[in-house]
Structure 1
Amino acid sequence: MTAATLRLRPLGIDGGHEHAVYVNAGCHVCRAEGYEAQTRLTVAANGRSLVATLHMVHGDLLGLGEAALSLAAQHALELRAGEPLSLSHLPVLRSESALRAKIYGQRLDEDQFAGLVADAVSGRLSDLHLAALVSACAGDKLDLAESLALTRAMVQAGERLSWSRHPVMDKHCVGGLPGNRTTPIVVAIAAAAGLLMPKTSSRAITSPAGTADTMEVLAPVELDSAAIRRVVERTGGCVVWGGAMRLSPADDVLIRIERPLGLDSDGLMVASILSKKLAAGAERVLLDLPVGPTAKVRDAAGAGRLAARLRAVGQQLGLEVDIAVTDGRQPVGRGIGPALEARDVLQVLRGEPTAPADLRERALLLAGRILEMGGAAATGLGLVRATELLDGGQAWQRFQAICEAQGGMRTLPRAPLTETMTAPAPGRVSAIDNRVLARIAKLAGAPQSPAAGLDLHVRLDDAVEAGQPLYTLHAEAPGELRYALAYARENLTAIALGEPTCPAPSC
């Protein structure tokens, strides 16, 4: 492959995650090499290389011998103004044939999935390729053998942690339930019981907060493998961002495409969940499957199918998988957004009277299952032991130790702007839409603004009076508060009110 050299002119273009290269439309390189807009090219500089999408610039913003890079690409190559970079054609992708085969409904084997995953992780597949792959695997288009093959390929594409102590415990929720921030509490209880629980978590992509976003307002989460090992050896547990390491890196790539498209797939979900558990060195995993009409898993039948596939694939890969099917009809706790969810977590760990009872109850249920799976409690006594560790203060002490080991506990931020949505009429809360409330919290600025989000004041079946607070928006910027309020006022059924129950016996 021939390479042509240009010099970098930084333009400060933020394309998010995308690696992009910009050249003048009259550039001799493009004419000589036959490059066109949207061509995928190899860009090399400083002994590094990456794959970027070409964009043509018409006018005099760039000279004929200059190129600009998106900020993500410029940072990855560690390139400065005036330094040379070279462009060359991308080699033919062998995985494209496997992608076409899957689009036409053919089954793929382990080698084909390995090629697709390798090209996805390296950046050789464009977002168009990735969207086609996710679409071809959506719904029921992956059978059990393909889920297993994809999971193996995703594990092999990254690093894998190993531990000297056993068993190694893990816990994961399939998502779709705002405020369901049980992980920090469960990790603290498990570590206080003497179990090993190195928890790697995700950031939010389209939700108001991921576990890593919530934990980050309490302590640093961007730790490398060596730092994680030090934290876990000292405290028995951690809650860190998995994206800071190469643990199943293909998962982050696929999720980034899958979630905005709204394409759920049991096959992809199983590969996503289990590949990260295996990469983190887990041996025994508890999976939380919230079920509700506006949760990710909508009904008991769907939960049963997903649970069966998780168990089957986990067994083939040497993972002991336990499933907890939980109530997903409404958010958990009061806060939706990083700092508000972190506040709820601290209230539970500290045993404060104002702590959300549902978050405490759910965390204890899951922690009890973990203790029994790990042999830290006898069968049937896990909940009792978990409650002892929480109420006795050992879990709170261990959580503080984990935060200090990760870099020090932080003070929670508070949003300067709030606005409360009230009940338009008396009634009884008949339904709560998880997706709409999550959207409102995100419009308010979460998770990019950690203090933003909303506080929920009512639960299902609560009786409310006209004018009673339903939820309070928290925002750091006036514009975000206006956006969130406008959407909230267009979606008053986010908290649906049924007919009020008459208090008088004569009604």
Structure 2
Amino acid sequence: MDGDSSSAGQRPTIAPATLVARPLALDTFRENVVLLARNNPVVRPERLAGVRKVEVVAGSLRLLAVPMICDDPSVVGPGEIGLPQPVFRRLGVTSGDAIHVAPARAPKTLDLVKAKIAGESLTDDDYRAITRDLAGHQWSDMEVAAFLVACAAFMTTEETLALTRAMIGAGARLDWGRPMVVDKHCIGGIPGNRTSLIVTPIVAAHGLTMPKTSSRAITSPAGTADTMEVFARVDLNEAEMRSVVEACGACVVWGGRVNLSPADDVLISVERPLSIDTPEQMVASILSKKTAAGSTHLILDVPVGPTAKVRDRRSALRLKKLFEYVADGIGLSLEVMITEAPEPIGRGVGPVLEARDVEAVLAGRADAPSDLKEKAVWLAGRVLEFDPALHGGAGERRARDLLESGAAMAKMEEICAAQGASPIARRTGALTHEVCAATDGHVASIDCLRIASVARLAGAPTDPGAGLELLRKMGEPVRAGEPVYRIHASEPADFGFAIEAAGEDSGVRISR
């Protein structure tokens, strides 16, 4: 027979060193995992003795993956390699493509992790190699965790700068073609502190460029991206982000989609479940993302309070100096604002509940939380002071005018329309429980960490409608049996966990 001798529908003959790709409807999150049949002809299980990973190559793309052995031929056959969705996407293959597979040696950069565990300082070249492997998904979560813990034990200021530079260089770097691109960021730790969603439209309404990129929540009940997603889509790619900024002067998007400091996204994915948030990693994460996003001028909010991330002014000043040292090293104009944070800001804790507070402030409603409004106006004023055309000291007044005139609300609506409709339902959890005061008196203190913990147990931010709403703030009177906050949840199990935690310790102290 002339031409191709293979019959229609047959897979092409695959060389002995390859298997054919079979996509699997499995999500292994960040981890690279592949499924191999026990009787596959390329990498038999006995060849994997002492080897934790296999090397998987498709064209010019190479990654390391953890192999799992499958005995069900209906899932993966002997000539196939099962690719869960993350690996399938990263390799960019189609079903039936040839995949080269072999036992893999451990990445050489893991020797640097061992050196870090031993207390050694690493060089600029070392951190460049580490971030390349992180961005290339060459490490397992266990190996990433070992690196994070080692850095938490000992890391110099020079290493923090080296890590920041390396993280910037490992991904895309946006250039907006403008001499000034501003941003505002908070280090987090204060429930309800959603000032960025008010600052951004104020600044854009003034005329400054502010491409705001944010991470998802790491250890809190909501991050800026989580709350913005209640209003609009946040998973924009670079082209979409540019289109929004060109049209509106600003955006509020999730930074993970635009490949900005991708090594940081890998670190964050492991930091989140371990609740690791060291000063050095925080500095490298924030400043690498801001620089990669093209920012030239940044206002940084460092809240200080008895239950905040930073507990006292001395620690805040040390952190301020570390931020300033690294910012100088990467050419970023930075102003660090140390702010008082004795309690949560606003009333809502959790994406939907926090979005409700933001909307109330932007709309100028009488019931808008005044603490959120005043802090946002003050921070927006500090950002506007970067504008050389604005008279010194006039920033806060200009910010207040833009908010109270409705210009900021109009700009927020414009940004949301440009980013696209929100993919999530804008409603609070239907399961509710009120946590009440045990005695008469005044609210003496509200523990930010405990409030955040109860909100997370209720399901926030994974469930956007979960969290809690504060019904009393510090200094306000309360009678025994009156509610101090209300828990919202959607899942009965989460609801039960949150109620149990609030019963053990509500986080609210009443003084007589």
**Is TM > 0.5 for Structure 1 vs Structure 2?**
yes
| Matching residue's letter, 2:325 | A
Partner Cα separation in structure 1 for residue 504 and residue 16 of structure 2: 54
2:102 aligns with one of 88, 96, 100: 88
2:285 aligns with 272
Structure 1 stretches lacking a partner, 5+ long:
501-507
Q: Residues 83 and 225 from structure 1, CA distance in 2 versus in 1: closer, same or farther, beyond 3 angstroms?
A: closer
Shift of 1:57: 4.2
- TM-superposed CA distance for 1:184, in Å, is 1.3
Q: CA deviation at 1:420?
A: 1.5
The answer to whether the 8 A contact 1:251-1:272 is kept is yes
Q: State the secondary structure of the residue aligned to 2:247.
A: helix
Aligned to 1:486: 500
**Offset at 1:423?**
1.3
Instruction: Supply the distance in 1 between the matched residues of 2:37 and 2:504 (Cα, whole angstroms).
Output: 45
SS of the residue corresponding to residue 252 of structure 2 reads strand
Contact kept, 8 Å, 2:218 with 2:275, in 1: the verdict is no
Alignment partners' CA distance in 2, 1:3 and 1:377: 70
**Equivalent-residue separation in structure 2 for 1:166 and 1:262 (angstroms):** 37
Q: Once structures 1 and 2 are overlaid, which stretch shifts more, 92-101 or 246-255?
A: 92-101
Structure 1 residue 415 displacement after superposition: 2.9
Instruction: Name the SS of the counterpart of 1:341 in structure 2.
Output: helix
Aligned partner of residue 234 in structure 1, secondary structure: helix
Q: Equivalences for 1:308-387 in 2 at 5 Å?
A: 308-375=321-388, 377-387=390-400
- Contact 2:219/2:275 (CA < 8 Å) preserved in 1? no
> Is 1:134 equivalent to 2:134 in the alignment?
no
- Secondary structure (helix, strand or coil) at the match of 1:138 reads helix
The alpha-carbon deviation at position 329 of structure 1 amounts to: 2.2
The corresponding residue for 1:53 is: 66
Match of 1:504 in 2: none
Structure 2: gaps of 5 or more residues:
1-14
Pairwise CA distance, 1:26: 5.4
CA offsets 1:310-350 (integer angstroms, 9 cap, x no match): 11111121111101111222111111111111111110001
What are the equivalent positions in structure 2 for 1:296-315 lying under 5 Å apart?
Answer: 296-315=309-328
Task: Give, in whole Å, the separation in 1 of the partners of 2:16 and 2:301.
Answer: 51
Distance 1:224-1:14 versus aligned 2 partners, 3 A rule = closer
1:392 equivalent in alignment to 2:405: yes
Separation (CA, whole Å) in 2 of partners of 1:33 and 1:352:
68
2:233–2:419 contact (8 Å) kept in structure 1: yes
Write the letter of the residue equivalent to 2:498.
A
2:194 is the counterpart of 1:181:
yes
Deviation at 1:196, TM superposition (A): 0.9
Once the two structures are overlaid, the 10-residue window that deviates more, 252-261 or 128-137, is 252-261
Q: CA distance change for structure 1 residues 194 and 22 in 2, over 3 Å: closer, same or farther?
A: same
What is the rounded CA distance, in whole Å, between the counterparts of 1:162 and 1:7 in structure 2? 40
**Pairs aligned (count):** 496
Q: Distance in 2 between matches of 1:158 and 1:11?
A: 28
Distance (Å, rounded) in 2 between the aligned partners of 1:159 and 1:319: 17
Provide the alpha-carbon RMSD of the alignment.
2.4
1:446 and 2:457 matched: no
Most deviating of 481-490 and 356-365: 481-490
1:282 aligns with 2:295: yes
Instruction: State which of 107, 110, 117 in structure 2 corresponds to 1:103.
Output: 117
Q: Return the alpha-carbon distance in structure 2 between the equivalents of residues 156 and 80 of structure 1.
A: 30
Measured after TM superposition, the shift of residue 294 of structure 1 is 2.0
- Aligned twin of 1:432: 446
> Structure 1 length normalisation: TM-score?
0.91
Mapped to 2, the partners of 1:386 and 1:419 lie a distance apart of 38
Query: What residue identity is the alignment partner of 2:437?
Result: A
What is the rounded CA distance, in whole Å, between the counterparts of 2:70 and 2:396 in structure 1? Answer: 63
Match of 1:152 among 165, 176, 201: 165
Answer yes or no: is the 8 Å Cα contact 1:151–1:274 preserved in 2: yes
Which residue identity is paired with 1:460?
Answer: M
Report how far residue 112 of structure 1 moved.
Answer: 0.7
Q: Does 1:228 align with 2:236?
A: no
2:131 maps to what in 1? 117
Contact residue 305 and residue 341 of structure 2 kept, 8 A: yes
Q: Does 1:421 align with 2:435?
A: yes
Q: Please give the TM-score of this superposition, normalised by the length of structure 2.
A: 0.90
